Amino acid sequence: MFYRISGLVLGLAISGSAAAEPNMFGQTGLINMPDARLEADGTLQFGVSYFEPYLPLWTNVTVLPRMELSLRYTTIRDLPTSLGKGFGDYKDKAADSKVLLLKEARWWPALAVGAQDLFGTELFSSRYVVAGKRLGNTDYSLGYGSDRIDGVFGGMRYRPDWNSNLAFVIEYDANDYANDFGAAESGADQREGAWSYGVEYRKGWFGIQLATQNDDVGINGYVSIPLMKDEFVPKVHEPDPWTHQTPAAAIDQWQTDTGYAARLARTLHESDYRDVRLGFDGHTLSASLTNVRITHIGRAIGRAARIMLALGPEQMQALSITYTINAQPTLEYHFTDVRKLRRYFEGMLSRGQLNHYLEIRYADPWEMAHLPQDAAEFASAQEEPPPATRVRRTEEGHFVSFRSESGLLGGFQLVPFNLGLFLNDPNGAARYDIFATAGYTRKIGPGRFFETSARLTLDEDISNVTRPSNSTLPHVRSDIALYRQEGQRLKLSRLLVNQYLHPARRTWGRLSAGLYEEMFAGAGGQLLYLPARGQWAADVAVDALRQRDTEGTFGFRDYDTVTAIGSLHYRIPAWDVTATARAGRFLAGDKGVRFEIKRRFRSGISIGLWYTRTDGDDITPPGSPGDPYYDKGVFASIPLSSMLTRDTRARASMSLSPWTRDVGQMVVSPGDLYTDFERALHLDASATDFMSRFGQ
């Protein structure tokens, strides 16, 4: 398994006394048994427990209002494994789910069905149905299970009036411990199940449970994060909107002295706007720009509008702002009456009233290419060098990083510490990779960017993996250990040119050539289409690729391929869930479909999973002839703006997936258009009019 931490993310969640609590294996429940309760929608929990001989690390999320998903990595103490000395005690991965079929009402109980250990080895597989009814301060549960949960189970949880954070739990444990995998060696066969007793305490973001069963004592501790909270930390260090009072220039002054446009361009740059182009036709002040820090497009437009009102011509009548992504025009905001816009910012006009003087539409590349002549003249004012930008520490999902930025788009970034974790290698339960990265991006033409990055290995033990891959597919990913064992510690990980295009309204493209990633180089492109209305999008990416050698320079292996992936994305607004299907030819030449589903919570955090079915026969265990392995995994993307005192577009990402698999693999995109546009537009599309937080 591969689990990469690209940032240090800390969050605090405040919640009152919850009706639901996690059990020892991470599902909401009693002690060892599930119940019919779910945490509040969007609750994410991380925990660790121990009840001899099991030590699970677990996470649980209420991914939908009536559904929870759980993942756990369980160590079975005192049970040896045949995988080698470095692996230690036997370890097992499992996924659980629970669905609430019926909410509790006055006369009937809540009813839920669930499953434990859905995929893989299924050592702890169970299916169950459970009912729950709350009477006063006591919550009663009664259920029936099959497989490991063998028959009737139930219990109750009591919360005293004098301390609602405290609870006492009694349950009847129906787990068939005697038939657990390796029960005789681990001692699980000595557990009798039956009656268990526990006491638990929950305060804010932290909870703990102590339990006893016969002579055994168990403990379960966890943290809880409410993903439906807009932000966890107030924006106390966020700059105030522009409020400076400056003398306004008359129209004839603007048209004869480009210094006024230059002043406006510099002020926008100082407020984190980049790639600024300005124009004025005697009636409308126009700007094309992007913001490298502010998360919501609506908020970025609002702050830019304040600056343009303050520093623009005194008699201008309208304001037009085009927001760009990858230096390509994306959204046009046209305010037809600047007097009404001023009154809105002064609090004298409502948003509903402002809408009568506002038009928002997807940008038309033809209109952007044919600006009025005098607008083009004013645009040249931005060619004056912007104020020098010194190297500064940034908050971009890393423990620490440093960045310097150019006046247009791009710059240099140094991340002195990155951590990658690789789990479940046959030669050891965990492997690590500690490395530093440095990257440089420069805009070298209209929509054209040069990008390069290098990595320096500081310390790692992945190179200690000695078993070669036995995959019968081309080794497109499974030789990862060789890329650490061979070559220099300093390697070139990326060197390419991206050309971004905007051929038509709601259509964007990318052409790329160079070193895409550590393992592959090539040339290719992508085309993205967004509809005028509706919640779907489509893109297609085609790349001709050649596998890089392990040295990390400009050598190649004797393997080349062409990947062609068409993707259809559909969003369900009610739950903010996006489903994606990617069909085509993957890295190892296998053909099939990759299904993805993710949910974006109110905090901006996204959690999802994927499952791929292709014609590639991966017989590496647990795959076998006639029953091949199919690629799958889970991922999360965390915007740091909800957890910092200042707005930022930085994100921390992580994934958990097999790291020595070749089936269903994709090349790392040189610049995925759907990801870029979905992250930018989706934040404001949730407000239906791309004006989220416009006045802030």
Question: How far is 315 from 338, CA to CA, in rounded Å?
Answer: 10
Question: With DSSP H G I counted as helix, E B as strand and the rest as coil, what are the percentages for the chain, rounded to 5?
Answer: 15, 50, 35
pLDDT score at 685: 52
Distances (CA, A) of 138 to 19, 30, 141, 170, 647: 10, 12, 10, 11, 43
Query: Both tokens of residue 611?
Result: 């499952």
Enumerate the domain spans of the chain: 9-226, 251-383, 419-679
Query: Under a CB-based contact definition with an 8 Å cutoff, are residues 590 and 635 in contact?
Result: no
Give the residue from 443, 424, 362 showing the smallest Cα distance to 661.
424
Query: Under a CB-based contact definition with an 8 Å cutoff, are residues 402 and 417 in contact?
Result: no
Question: How far is 580 from 571, CA to CA, in rounded Å?
Answer: 9
DSSP string, 68-127: EEEEEEEEEEEEE-TT-GGG-EEEEEEEEEEEEEE---SSS-EEEEEEE--STT-TT-EE
Strand partners for 603: none
Question: How far is 253 from 671, CA to CA, in rounded Å?
Answer: 42
Torsion of CA 671, 653, 585, 662, to 10 degrees: 130
CATH T-level topology, domain 9-226: Porin (2.40.160)
Question: How far is 594 from 614, CA to CA, in rounded Å?
Answer: 8
Question: How far is 392 from 402, CA to CA, in rounded Å?
Answer: 6
- Return the HEC string of 458-472: EEECHHHCCCCCCCC
The residues, any chain, with a CB within 8 Å of residue 385's CB and separated by 6 or more, are 407
pLDDT tens-digit map of 59-106: 999 999 999 999 988 989 888 765 555 557 788 888 899 999 999 998
Question: How far is 645 from 164, CA to CA, in rounded Å?
Answer: 32
Strand partners for 508: 528
pLDDT score at 54: 93
DSSP string, 561-617: EEEEEEEEEEEETTTTEEEEEEEEE-TTS-EEEEEEEEEE-TTS-EEEEEEEEES--
- Write down the pTM of the prediction: 0.86
pLDDT score at 242: 76
Distances (CA, A) of 290 to 274, 297, 673: 5, 9, 16
The residues, any chain, with a CB within 8 Å of residue 409's CB and separated by 6 or more, are 274, 275, 290, 292, 327, 441, 443, 449
Question: How far is 583 from 671, CA to CA, in rounded Å?
Answer: 19
Q: Which ranges of 249-360 would DSSP assign to H, the alpha helix? A: 251-256, 259-270, 297-311, 338-345, 351-354
pLDDT < 70 regions, the chain = 1-18, 81-87, 120, 367-401, 403, 405-408, 423-429, 622, 659, 683-689
Query: Under a CB-based contact definition with an 8 Å cutoff, are residues 166 and 200 in contact?
Result: yes
Question: How far is 353 from 91, CA to CA, in rounded Å?
Answer: 61
pLDDT score at 680: 82
pLDDT tens-digit map of 249-282: 888 888 888 888 888 988 998 888 988 888 888 8
Residues in the chain: 696
Question: How far is 512 from 543, CA to CA, in rounded Å?
Answer: 9
Contacts made by residues 192-196, CB under 8 angstroms, sequence distance 24+: 193/32, 195/170, 195/171, 196/30, 196/31, 196/32, 196/155, 196/169, 196/170, 196/171, 196/172
